[in-house]
Amino acid sequence: MLHRLAVLILLSSACASLPVPALGRPQDRSAAESPKVAVQADGAVGVPAQTVPVSTFLSPEAKEYLAQHLKDMQDPEILKQDAGVPRFMKRYLARDYALFPVERKDEKVGGVHAYVYTPKAGVSARNKDRVLINLHGGGFSGCWPGCAELESIPVAALGKIEVVSIDYRESPEYKFPAASEDVASVYRELLKSHKSQDIGIYGCSAGGMQTAMSVAWFQTHSLPAPGAIGIFCASAGGVLGGDALYTAVPLGEARLALPGAPGAAPPLSYFSGTDPTDPLVSPINSPETLAKFPPTLIITGTRGFELSSALYTHEQLVKLGVEAELHVWEGLFHGFFYNADVPESRDAFNVIVKFFDRHLGG
Amino acid sequence: MLHRLAVLILLSSACASLPVPALGRPQDRSAAESPKVAVQADGAVGVPAQTVPVSTFLSPEAKEYLAQHLKDMQDPEILKQDAGVPRFMKRYLARDYALFPVERKDEKVGGVHAYVYTPKAGVSARNKDRVLINLHGGGFSGCWPGCAELESIPVAALGKIEVVSIDYRESPEYKFPAASEDVASVYRELLKSHKSQDIGIYGCSAGGMQTAMSVAWFQTHSLPAPGAIGIFCASAGGVLGGDALYTAVPLGEARLALPGAPGAAPPLSYFSGTDPTDPLVSPINSPETLAKFPPTLIITGTRGFELSSALYTHEQLVKLGVEAELHVWEGLFHGFFYNADVPESRDAFNVIVKFFDRHLGG
């Protein structure tokens, strides 16, 4: 008669013989020696201090990248932006220019400033009538053009597709719904020469949030849904919360979430004056809005602070019958694919390219 | 000129105004007061002790279930099995019998003992030529019929489909490849009356591992691939490792992984004498084997100790061009869907049913 502890021991012992590198086991074999996990009545878990190595599943390049990233996150100097490029991102940009030959035109599309990327090798025949809109990350307060470049260049080159990255209006000068208006202006312009099902929209972090907000915005502004969307490093409402606060934040950002209860922080100035229950601000709150989402690709990582809300978004879309595809990179953090030299980043770009290829019309 | 710390603060402040319940923020606003996260040269992270609440994204039922589960995992008495049913699972079984009317026949299929489930409401017209094979969890050393029942009854009833749950040979009396042989015997028998594309195979934990091992076994034993498979609470090789050791194990199993380095544990007696690099034992090691996998559904949770290896399995299948679908339940643990009263479990069963409906032939 085996109890589950023994089952766990046996199961994990089985796995000790399986080739997972640097395998550990979950059970506490020497209970008297190890620190304990305490469980409170409400299910809260007191977890003792731990030293957590980089994940054994990562490529060698990703392990090195993660180690560097964690050190960067603790260095205020390297986090600063110069002309819209965070310093730690400069080396990633230089590599993108070397790896992915693209043309970049500085234009206005529907009256909104944008960079229009096309691959130097040419747009593929399949993609001649298609276009992707990129909405860059940066907290609605920066990272143009740095994040725009890192999100657009590899996709344009690897996807052999045109990418329009929108320099949407942001804080501190502008407030919601400025970015939603700008995306709609560009979208309307593109609709003059493209079918809606041939247009995809995607972005990372703030850009992922804005992608979801734009889909909601189109619903209430007489615009058709795009053919497919990508919500990366983000969710359809709320980036933080859940288990990720305690797992991904320390392991991916090298800091603790604010200890104790969630408090009120002064609202981001971009969102000041907004109603948090408004589906145009936070589509996750409206099943009616979510149910009309087009096919949606969600990308995150076990160390992305958005992990929990991204997973919750995926669950809700699935429940509502939306075709939602989830990819979670083990051991990797918020926006990891900004470094294109890492194999896992290449895998992510391949997933993005294939997703849009499969779901856009034509 | 904003640095990323400010970006994070701003982003998280944005989210403080978004309706994610009990929202926290990742940044350390009062650095002098809070414990620090230490980053080592190799990227290992020293995480201070934390108290981690149940995830804010869970349904009320799931929060209660998680709290109870964590207490159960620390109670050796309730983990014991009586006649193949772990005591903590008895109430879940009683509910399954009440919720999901099925007929269960105790039979031999291809000479192997099995339970054959059919919904009392009848198999649907769509499913009349289809059958699912369930491989139960239990560490290759128990949990028949408890886990078999919990994995089969809801699927048979909700899916309106026949489910054959195999009582495969296990430790301590038998060793690898006894279970693989038994699955193959049943499969060969079903192939006399079903097309391979109309047969699906799925299981949780050891059953998920065995599902992957069986797909590999069929490849080297002149058997066609099944139409679709489900690897739940498991991976295609190795259940443990990665970030999950440090996140999911404490938060989902209320214990710490063995502190310090992974050590050698005596191999599970079921796998004694096996070669850990053998694709029949651990398909994850063989891209050639994995590349021939049929459409695969992977189900896990942020608190499942299999999380990291399940995600790695998904990434590898996707890279190899296999149609692999991932669902990760925020805040939930290994085998969470055994409790069918929890809304998230119903969502999981719906995902399973829809997946097989979409991918099986006919």
pLDDT in tens, A106-119: 999 999 999 999 99
Mean pLDDT to the nearest integer, A91-120: 98
Residue A34's SS3 state is coil
pLDDT of residue A239: 58
Prediction pTM value:
0.92
Measured between alpha carbons, how far is B318 from B94 in angstroms, rounded to an integer? 38
Give A154-197 pLDDT, tens digit per residue.
Answer: 999 999 999 999 999 999 999 999 999 999 999 999 999 999 99
A345: pLDDT strictly greater than 90:
yes
CA distance B156 to B119: 6
Model confidence at B266: pLDDT above 70? no
Record: contact A237-B19, CB cut-off 8 A: yes
Mean pLDDT, chain B, as a whole number? Answer: 89
Which residues of A fall within a CB distance of 8 Å from B3?
A: 76-77, 79-81, 86
More confident residue, B353 or B12: B353
> Could you tell me if residue A290 is left (phi over 0), alpha (psi between -120 and 50 degrees) or otherwise beta?
alpha
pLDDT tier at B14 (50, 70, 90 boundaries)?
very low
| The pLDDT of residue A16 is above 80 | no
Report d(CA B98, CA B203) in Å as an integer: 22
A347/B318 Cα distance (integer angstroms): 9
User: Cα separation of A82 and A152, whole Å?
Assistant: 19
* B34 with A259: Cβ contact below 8 A: yes
pLDDT digits (tens, 9 = 90+) for A225-259: 999 999 999 999 865 789 999 999 999 999 998 65
Q: What is the pLDDT of residue B239?
A: 58
Q: Determine, for residues B26 and A143 on separate chains, whether the beta-carbon distance falls below 8 Å.
A: no
Give me the pLDDT at residue B9, please. Answer: 37
Average pLDDT for A116-134: 98
Give Cα separations from A198 to A89, A123, A187, A193 (angstroms).
Answer: 31, 14, 12, 10
Answer whether residue A103 shows pLDDT above 90. yes
pLDDT in tens, A27-66: 434 444 567 899 999 999 999 999 999 999 999 999 999 9
Confidence of residue A260 (pLDDT cuts 50, 70, 90): very low
Residues of chain A contacting residue B313, judged by C-beta atoms under 8 Å apart: none
**What's the pLDDT at A14?**
35
Which residue, chain included where needed, has tokens 């409206």?
A286
Predicted complex ipTM? 0.91
| Rounded percentage of chain B residues whose pLDDT exceeds 70 | 87
- What are the φ/ψ torsions at residue A54 (nearest 5 degrees)? -60, 150
Q: Determine whether the interchain pair B45/A51 forms a contact, defined as Cβ–Cβ distance below 8 Å.
A: yes
**What letters, b where the CB count within 10 A reaches 16 and e where it falls short, cover B169-201?**
bbbeebbbbbbbbbbbbbbbbbbeebebbbbbb
Residue B33 has pLDDT above 80, yes or no: no
Percentage of chain A beyond pLDDT 70 is 87
List the single best residue of B240, B251, B317, B342 to mutate versus A (max A Cβ within 10 A).
B240
Q: What does the pLDDT read at residue A267?
A: 52
CA B77 to the chain's CA centroid? 24
Tell me if B253 and A327 make a contact (CB, 8 A cut-off): no
User: What pLDDT does residue B140 have?
Assistant: 95
- CA B47 distance to own-chain centroid: 28
Question: Looking at beta carbons, which residues of chain B come within 8 Å of A18?
Answer: 237-239, 271, 276, 281-282
Chain B residues within 8 A of A178 when measuring between CB atoms: none
**Amino acid A276: pLDDT:** 85
Closest CA to B265 of A45, A52, A25, A229: A25
The alpha carbon of residue B201 is apart from the nearest alpha carbon of chain A, in Å, by 21
Whole-angstrom distance, CA of residue B170 vs CA of residue B145: 13
Contacts of B323 in chain A (CB under 8 A): none
Question: If you write DSSP's letter for every residue of B98-145 in order, what string do you get?
Answer: HHS-EEEEEEEETTEEEEEEEETT---GGGTT-EEEEE--STTS--TT
pLDDT of residue A238: 64
Higher local confidence (pLDDT), A15 or B60: B60
Looking at the DSSP bridge assignments, the partners of residue B45 are A52, B39
Rounded Cα–Cα distance for residues B286 and B219 (Å): 12
At residue A261, does pLDDT exceed 60? no
**Higher confidence at residue B196 or residue B8?**
B196
Q: What band does B202 get if pLDDT is binned at 50, 70 and 90? A: very high
Q: Where residue A24 falls among pLDDT bands split at 50, 70, 90?
A: very low
Mean pLDDT across chain A: 89
Whether residue A158 contacts residue A349, with contact meaning beta carbons closer than 8 Å, is answered with yes
pLDDT at B128 over 70: yes
pLDDT at A2 exceeding the cut of 50? no
Tell me what pLDDT residue B100 has: 98
Per-residue pLDDT band at B36 (split at 50, 70, 90): confident
Strand partners, B203: B135, B231
pLDDT tier for residue B236 given thresholds of 50, 70 and 90? very high
Residue from A30, A57, A272 whose CB has the most chain B CBs within 10 Å, to mutate: A57
Q: Identify the closest residue of chain A to B318 by CA–CA distance.
A: A351
Select the residue of A18, A26, A63 nearest B238 (Cβ to Cβ): A18
Q: Which pLDDT score is estimated for B238?
A: 65
* Interface-testing mutation among A247, A275, A280, A354, with chain B (most B C-beta atoms within 10 A): A247
* pLDDT surpasses 80 at B299: yes
Contact present, B5 and A223 (Cβ < 8 Å): no
